[in-house]
Amino acid sequence: MITMLLVIDVGNTNIVLGVYKDTELLDHWRISTDRQRTTDEYGVLIRELFYLNDLRADDINAIIISSVVPPVVPTLERMCQRYFGLSPLLIGPGVKTGMDIRYDNPREVGADRIVNAVAAYEKYGGPVIIVDFGTATTFCAVDAKGVYLGGSICPGIGISTEALVQRTAKLPRIELKRTDSVICRNTIESMQAGVFYGFVGQVEGIVSRMRRELDMSARVVATGGLAVVIAPATKAIDVVEPMLTLEGLRIIYERNR
């Protein structure tokens, strides 16, 4: 039987969705995370995305959800039951990930971090470091045996930039952009350089320290919306995998069939 799997990753800023036909990703979308949306609003929105991309909601026979926003989960569960006739598999305690988690309290680890780690280790083996540029920028380490060791969590690029604007009287909102120089002669470019190269430096510094603690040969995999922007500016990132989280959800679903 062909598996038509809807994968849903709920982040603090965006919800990323994808549809797999067995192992093939047919399509994917990004919508805003809105705690005020109702079951019906999510249902209509997702079915409309299906319709616009020539996919049939009735063909979906499995759903898996990871979330770092607990209040949205019951709404999406009801949406799945009402609009797809399915009860989703939720990433959480009791779900087989195939990965040993060496965290003081494994329940504290964000579902997205585990999903990313599973996908990165499955594709590249270990040791591997995963950098996820989301609302927060997270760094996760997996050793050569596939054990999740933990990592670091930093303020994300978006919220850091927004805080800079809100906490200063004269600095404007800016587009994240790589500048030719860090010695800039106007306010906009000075901010762009500071934000962009500041985060490049953050990545290089944390990855360097992680490699020393983990293994200097560790491969670094980046994902998240801004990974493609930051990665070309540093040699600390080996590969960018924009769909890493969706792929991890697919892998975990297969392990729990």
Confidence of residue 14 (pLDDT cuts 50, 70, 90): very high
135 is in an annotated binding site: yes
* DSSP-based three-state secondary structure for 193: helix
User: What is the residue type of 62?
Assistant: A
Look up 215 and say whether it is catalytic: no
pLDDT value for 205: 98
Mean pLDDT over 182-188 rounds to 95
Is residue 85's pLDDT more than 90?
A: yes
Per-residue exposure over 26-53, b if at least 16 CB sit within 10 Å of its own CB, e if not: eebbeeebeeebebeebbebbbebbeee
151 is in an annotated binding site: no
Task: List the 24-32 sheet strands across, edge first.
Answer: 24-32, 14-21, 4-10, 62-67, 89-90
- Nearest CA to 82 out of 35, 43, 30 is that of 43
110 is in an annotated binding site: yes
pLDDT value for 94: 86
Identify the active-site residue in 22, 58, 59, 112: 112
Domains of the chain: 4-90 (3.30.420.40), 100-249 (3.30.420.40)
Lowest-pLDDT choice from 25-29, 103-107, 185-189, 241-245:
103-107
Is residue 93's pLDDT more than 90?
A: no
27 is in an annotated binding site: no
The pTM (predicted TM-score) of the whole model is 0.93
103 is in an annotated binding site: yes
